[in-house]
C-alpha cells in the first residue's frame, strides 16, 4: 500500500464572502505555498465589497453583531489544531480566541459607555451615540500572524465597520485560514475582506481610495511608507490610526482605543414641549 | 411691515488701542520677524486697530513659552487649581460680556443680538463647563491605561496645543479650543483669523486679569503663513483646526508621520429636510435660522433645503414672506437680523457661487432689500430649481444663500442629504417621532437637529463625519482630543 497522497489547499483572497484568485493571475511563494499576490484592482474590488456590506452590518442590531463575533470565536477555537499546524503557537491561538470573545461582548455596550444624554441648558432632548465610521482599511501587523490580525479586525467590525485587510506578507496563511473561519461564522460577505501580497502594492491604493473612511496603519513597519500612506489618506480626511512607536505587546489588554478610534459620534437634538 | 427706529448699541463700552502686539509668555510683545496688518469693521470698512503679524521666530518664541509653562507650571498643577483659573476666566467673560459682544460685532459684522445672546453666553458657559472637568479627568471614561504607559489610570495631557480658528465665531471658537485644552492640562498657542483678531486679544487681557500663569495661553495674530508655521512647528504636540476643508487637508498632510494629535472641524453642506406633516411656520423659522443666522457664515448651516414636493409651494411662499421681514444692516443695531459679510474676499466668493447658480439654471430670489453703501453686504438669497449637480448644491458657500431641492419619499431625502462629501449637520422637520428617529439613524452627520436647528451647548459634542473633519468639540467627547488616550 502506498501512502495516501494529501490534498493540498489553494490559498486565495477573501473578497465579498468569496475566495477569488487575484484578478491579476499572480501568486507568490511563501510558507511553502503559492499565495495570491493581490493587485491594486483587487484592492479596489475589496473596497466595493466592503462598502456594499456597510448598510447591512452597521444596520444590524448590536446583539446580532455580538452573536456573530462570538460565533467566530467558536469557529476559531474549533480550528485550533489547523492554526498550530501552520506554525502558530497554541498559546497565541488561545489568546486570539479570547480576544474575539472580549471584543464580541463590546458590541452591545459601546453605545452605553461612549454615548449618553447631554444635559444641555435648555428645553431639549439631546443624546450622543457612537456609530461606525464606514469602510476601514487595515494594514495587519507582520506578526504575530494570528493574534495581531484578530487584534486589528475585531475592534473595527464590532461596532459595524467593514474592513479591507492587507495581511502579513510573510505569514499570510493564518489570514487566509482566518477567512475560512469567518466565512463559516454567519458573518455577512464583505464585512471582512482579506488581501494577501505586497503591502506596498495594496496599501497605497487603499490609503488613496476615496470610498474608504479610515485607515489603520498598525502593521506598517516602515516609517516612510506610513507617512506616505497618511499623506494619501488626507485627501478625503480618512481617520488614521498611526503605528504605535516601539514594540507592541500583543498579549496586553488592548484598551478601548482600537474601537473608539473608528467611531463617529452623532448627536441628536429635539425640543421638549407640550 | 413695522417701521423700526434705529436702536444702536453704544460702542463706547469698547476701549480699543490703536495697535496690538503678540501675546507671548503673559505679555504683549512686538513681533520679532513679523509685520503688521489692519483689522477693519466689515460694516463700514473703517480701520479698528493695527495688529501684529507673527513671523516664524515669533511662533518659535510662543511655542517655547508654552512648553516652559507646560513643564514648569500648568502640567504639574493639580486639576483643582487649573479648574479655578478656568472658572475665573468664565466669570471675567460674563462680567465683560457686553464689551466683548460689541467688539465681536464690530470686528466680525455679526448682529449684536447674536453676539450678545448667542456667542457670549456660550463662550462663558464653555469655560465654566470645562473648568469642572479639570479635576475629574480620571472619570471621563477613556478607559484604564496600563500602569506602564503614561503614568497610570489618570489620562495625561499632550503638551503644547497649536490651535487655528476661523472668523465666523471668533471668540466662541477660541473658547471651544482653549477651554478643553487647558482643562486637560495642555498649554496653547492660538492663532485667531486675520479678519477677526480683536476679541482674542481682549481675551489675552482677561488671561492677565485672571492671573493665569504666563505662557499657558499665547495668542499669535497673523494670516495663513503664521498658521502654517504654527501647526508645522516640531515643538507642538497637538493641532486643532477649525476652518475650510481644503486647509484641513493640507494640515492633515503636514502632520503625517509626526506624533501630533490632530482634530479638524471643517466645512459642511447640511441638508435641512422638511416633510409634509411639519408645522410649516415653525419649519420656516428653522430654515431662516438655519441659513441666515450669522449671515450664513456657519459651517453647520442648513444650506440645502430639501422640501417634500407636495408642500414645496406652500413652504416657499411662507419662506419668502418671512425673508421679506429680515432686517439687513448695521450690526450694532439691536433690531438687525442679518449683519455684514465678514470680508471683501468672502463677499466675492458668495457672489461667484451665486452667479454660478444662476448660470447653471437655478432661479434666484431675494426680497427687496436696501443695503448700506459702505461695507460688505449680501441680501438673503434663495435658489429654486436646484439640482444635485449644481455647484450651489455641492460647494460650501458660507453666506446667506439657500439652495432649494425637493424630494418625494423619506428614502430619497436620505439619499440626497447624504450625497455630499461633507457630514457635519442635518435638520429634520416632521411631526412623526418614528420618522425622526428613522431619519436620524440614516443621516451621515455629526449633529442632527430635529424640529430645531443651529443649537449649541458646551455639553453637546459637535463635529463631523467624512470630509467635515474628525474629533468632537464639546462635552466629555471634547476632552479626548487633548488627552493622551
Which residue segments constitute the domains of chain A, with CATH numbers given?
27-271 (3.40.605.10)
Q: Give the count of beta carbons closer than 10 Å to the beta carbon of residue B211.
A: 10
Q: What is the DSSP string of A121-162?
A: SSSEEEEEEEEE-SEEEEE--SSSTTHHHHHHHHHHHTTT-E
Cβ burial B323-332 (10 Å sphere, 16+ → b, else e): beebbbbbbb
CB B339 within 8 A of CB B358: no
**B433 vs B336: CA distance, rounded Å:** 35
Question: Chain A, 120-139: which have a CB under 8 Å from a chain B CB?
Answer: 120-122, 124, 126, 128, 133
Task: Compute the average pLDDT of residues A218-231.
Answer: 96
Mean pLDDT estimate for chain B: 96
B151 band by pLDDT with thresholds 50, 70 and 90: very low
- Residues of chain A with C-beta less than 8 angstroms from the C-beta of B477: 128, 265
Give catalytic residue positions of B: 265, 299
- Residues of chain B with C-beta less than 8 angstroms from the C-beta of A222: none
Task: Compute the average pLDDT of residues A4-13.
Answer: 94
Grid cell 500572524 is found at A145
Residue A146 reports pLDDT greater than 70: yes
Task: Compute the average pLDDT of residues B429-453.
Answer: 98
Beta-carbon contacts of B11 under 8 Å, excluding residues fewer than 6 positions away, are: B102, B106, B332
Question: Chain B, 226-255: which have a CB under 8 Å from a chain A CB?
Answer: 245, 248-250, 252-253
Q: What is the DSSP string of B164-183?
A: E--SSSHHHHHHHHHHHHHH
Report the relative pairing of strands A263-271 and A124-132 from DSSP bridges.
antiparallel
**B432 vs B291: CA distance, rounded Å:** 24
Residue-level pLDDT at B282: 97
Question: Chain B, 254-273: which have a CB under 8 Å from a chain A CB?
Answer: 256-257, 259, 264, 266
- Going by C-alpha positions, the residue among B32, B202, B182, B93 that lies closest to residue B483 is B182
Q: What percent of chain B has pLDDT over 70?
A: 97
Q: Decide if A239 and B450 are in contact by the 8 Å CB cutoff.
A: no
List the single residue in A with minimal CA-CA distance to B260: A242
Residue-level pLDDT at B150: 42
Give the closest of A113, A120, A242 to B459, CB-based. A120
B424 band by pLDDT with thresholds 50, 70 and 90: very high
Grid coordinates in use for B20?
A: 496690538
Task: Compute the average pLDDT of residues B187-210.
Answer: 98
CB B200 within 8 A of CB B190: yes
Residue-level pLDDT at B4: 86
- Count CA within 13 A, CB hemisphere, residue B76: 7
Asked if B428 reaches chain A (Cβ–Cβ under 8 Å), the answer is: no
* pLDDT one-digit tens code per residue, B80-111: 999 999 999 999 999 999 999 999 999 999 99
Q: Decide if A266 and B448 are in contact by the 8 Å CB cutoff.
A: yes
Query: B188 or B153: whose pLDDT is higher?
Result: B188
**B105 vs B107: CA distance, rounded Å:** 6
**Residue B320 to chain A, least CA–CA distance (Å):** 25
Cβ burial A194-222 (10 Å sphere, 16+ → b, else e): bbbbebebbbbbbbbbeebbbbbbbbbee
Q: What does the DSSP 8-state code read for residue B468?
A: G
Tallying the residues shown for chain A, one arrives at 274
β strands within B21-99, DSSP E: 22-24, 27-29, 35-40, 47-53
**Residue A234 to chain B, least CA–CA distance (Å):** 6
Weakest mean pLDDT among A102-106, A131-135, A255-259, B388-392: A255-259
* pLDDT one-digit tens code per residue, B283-336: 999 999 999 999 999 999 999 999 999 999 999 999 999 999 999 999 999 999
Task: Compute the average pLDDT of residues A152-161.
Answer: 98
Residue B485 reports pLDDT greater than 90: no
Q: Decide if B451 and A213 are in contact by the 8 Å CB cutoff.
A: no
Residue B48 reports pLDDT greater than 70: yes
B200 burial (CB, 10 Å; 0-12 / 13-18 / 19+) is buried
Q: Decide if B447 and A233 are in contact by the 8 Å CB cutoff.
A: no
Cis peptide before B163 (omega within 30 of 0): no
B387 band by pLDDT with thresholds 50, 70 and 90: very high
Q: What does the DSSP 8-state code read for residue B295?
A: G
**A50 vs A44: CA distance, rounded Å:** 10
Q: What is the pTM of this model?
A: 0.96
Q: Report ipTM (2 d.p.).
A: 0.96
- Residues of chain A with C-beta less than 8 angstroms from the C-beta of B472: 265
Residue-level pLDDT at B144: 60
Grid cell 504666563 is found at B214
Grid coordinates in use for B160?
A: 503644547
Q: What percent of chain B has pLDDT over 90?
A: 95
Q: Quick one: CA dihedral B63, B69, B71, B77, positive or negative? A: negative
Question: Chain A, 186-245: which have a CB under 8 Å from a chain B CB?
Answer: 213, 223, 226-227, 230-231, 233-237, 239-240, 242, 245
B473 SS3 class = strand
Grid cell 437680523 is found at B337
- Residues of chain A with C-beta less than 8 angstroms from the C-beta of B142: 256
- Residues of chain A with C-beta less than 8 angstroms from the C-beta of B448: 266-269
Amino acid at each position: 500500500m502506498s501512502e495516501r497522497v494529501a490534498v493540498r489547499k489553494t490559498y486565495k483572497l477573501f473578497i465579498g464572502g468569496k475566495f477569488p484568485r487575484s484578478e491579476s493571475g499572480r501568486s507568490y511563494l511563501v510558507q511553502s505555498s503559492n499565495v495570491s499576490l493581490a493587485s491594486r484592482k483587487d484592492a479596489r474590488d475589496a473596497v466595493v465589497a466592503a462598502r456594499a456590506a456597510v448598510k447591512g452590518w452597521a444596520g444590524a442590531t448590536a446583539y446580532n453583531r455580538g452573536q456573530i463575533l462570538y460565533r467566530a470565536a467558536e469557529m476559531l477555537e474549533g480550528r485550533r489544531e489547523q492554526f498550530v499546524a501552520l506554525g502558530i503557537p497554541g498559546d497565541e491561538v488561545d489568546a486570539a480566541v479570547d480576544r474575539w470573545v472580549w471584543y464580541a461582548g463590546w458590541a452591545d455596550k459601546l453605545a452605553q459607555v461612549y454615548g449618553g444624554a447631554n444635559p444641555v441648558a435648555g428645553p431639549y432632548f439631546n443624546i450622543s451615540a457612537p456609530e461606525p465610521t464606514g469602510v476601514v482599511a487595515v494594514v495587519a501587523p507582520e506578526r504575530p500572524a494570528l493574534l495581531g490580525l484578530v487584534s486589528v479586525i475585531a475592534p473595527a467590525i464590532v461596532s459595524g465597520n467593514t474592513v479591507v485587510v492587507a495581511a502579513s506578507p510573510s505569514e499570510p496563511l493564518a489570514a487566509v485560514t482566518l477567512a475560512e473561519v469567518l466565512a463559516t461564522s454567519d458573518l455577512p460577505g464583505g464585512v471582512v475582506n482579506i488581501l494577501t501580497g505586497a503591502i506596498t502594492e495594496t496599501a497605497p491604493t487603499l490609503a488613496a481610495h476615496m470610498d474608504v473612511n479610515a485607515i489603520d496603519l498598525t502593521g506598517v513597519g516602515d516609517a516612510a511608507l506610513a507617512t506616505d500612506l497618511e499623506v494619501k489618506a488626507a485627501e478625503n480626511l480618512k481617520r488614521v490610526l498611526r503605528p504605535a512607536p516601539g514594540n507592541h505587546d500583543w498579549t496586553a489588554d488592548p484598551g478601548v482605543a482600537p474601537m473608539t478610534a473608528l467611531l463617529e459620534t452623532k448627536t441628536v437634538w429635539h425640543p421638549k414641549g407640550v | 411691515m413695522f417701521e423700526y427706529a434705529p436702536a444702536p448699541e453704544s460702542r463706547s463700552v469698547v476701549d480699543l488701542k490703536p495697535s496690538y502686539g503678540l501675546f507671548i509668555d503673559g505679555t504683549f510683545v512686538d513681533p520679532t520677524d513679523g509685520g503688521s496688518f489692519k483689522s477693519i469693521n466689515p460694516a463700514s470698512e473703517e480701520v479698528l486697530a493695527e495688529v501684529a503679524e507673527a513671523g516664524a521666530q515669533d511662533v518659535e518664541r510662543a511655542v517655547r513659552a508654552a512648553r516652559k509653562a507646560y513643564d514648569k507650571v500648568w502640567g504639574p498643577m493639580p486639576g483643582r487649581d487649573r479648574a479655578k483659573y478656568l472658572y475665573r476666566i468664565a466669570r471675567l467673560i460674563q462680567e465683560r460680556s457686553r464689551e466683548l459682544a460689541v467688539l465681536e460685532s464690530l470686528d466680525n459684522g455679526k448682529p449684536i443680538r447674536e453676539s450678545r445672546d448667542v456667542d457670549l453666553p456660550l463662550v462663558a458657559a464653555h469655560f465654566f463647563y470645562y473648568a469642572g472637568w479639570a479635576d475629574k479627568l480620571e472619570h471621563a471614561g477613556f478607559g484604564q491605561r496600563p500602569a506602564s504607559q503614561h503614568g497610570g489610570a489618570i489620562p495625561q495631557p499632550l503638551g503644547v496645543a497649536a490651535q487655528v480658528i476661523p472668523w465666523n465665531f471668533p471668540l466662541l471658537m477660541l473658547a471651544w479650543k482653549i477651554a478643553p485644552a487647558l482643562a486637560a492640562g495642555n498649554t496653547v498657542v492660538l492663532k485667531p483669523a486675520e479678519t477677526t483678531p480683536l476679541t482674542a486679544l481682549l481675551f489675552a487681557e482677561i488671561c492677565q486679569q485672571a492671573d493665569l500663569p504666563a505662557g499657558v495661553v499665547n495668542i499669535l495674530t497673523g494670516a495663513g503663513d503664521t498658521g502654517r508655521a504654527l501647526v508645522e512647528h516640531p515643538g507642538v504636540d497637538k493641532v486643532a483646526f477649525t476652518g475650510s476643508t481644503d486647509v484641513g487637508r493640507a494640515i492633515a498632510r503636514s502632520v503625517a508621520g509626526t506624533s501630533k494629535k490632530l482634530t479638524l472641524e471643517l466645512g459642511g453642506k447640511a441638508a435641512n429636510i422638511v416633510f409634509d406633516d411639519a408645522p410649516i411656520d415653525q419649519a420656516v423659522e428653522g430654515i431662516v435660522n438655519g441659513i441666515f443666522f450669522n449671515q450664513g457664515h456657519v459651517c453647520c448651516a442648513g444650506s440645502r433645503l430639501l422640501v417634500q414636493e407636495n408642500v414645496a409651494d406652500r413652504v416657499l411662499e411662507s419662506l419668502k414672506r418671512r425673508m421679506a421681514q429680515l432686517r439687513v444692516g448695521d450690526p450694532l443695531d439691536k433690531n438687525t437680523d442679518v449683519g455684514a459679510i465678514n470680508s471683501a474676499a468672502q463677499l466675492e466668493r458668495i457672489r461667484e457661487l451665486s452667479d454660478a447658480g444662476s448660470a447653471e439654471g437655478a432661479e434666484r430670489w431675494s426680497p427687496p432689500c436696501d443695503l448700506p453703501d459702505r461695507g460688505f453686504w449680501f441680501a438673503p438669497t434663495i435658489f429654486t430649481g436646484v439640482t444635485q449637480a449644481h455647484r450651489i448644491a455641492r460647494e460650501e458657500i458660507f453666506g446667506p444663500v439657500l439652495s432649494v431641492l425637493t424630494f418625494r419619499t423619506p428614502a430619497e431625502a436620505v439619499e440626497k442629504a447624504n450625497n455630499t462629501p461633507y457630514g457635519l449637520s442635518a435638520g429634520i422637520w416632521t411631526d412623526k417621532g418614528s420618522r425622526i428617529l428613522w431619519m436620524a439613524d440614516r443621516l451621515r452627520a455629526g449633529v442632527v437637529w430635529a424640529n430645531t436647528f443651529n443649537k449649541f451647548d458646551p455639553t453637546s459634542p459637535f463635529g463631523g463625519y467624512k470630509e467635515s473633519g474628525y474629533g468632537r468639540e464639546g462635552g466629555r467627547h471634547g476632552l479626548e482630543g487633548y488627552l493622551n488616550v
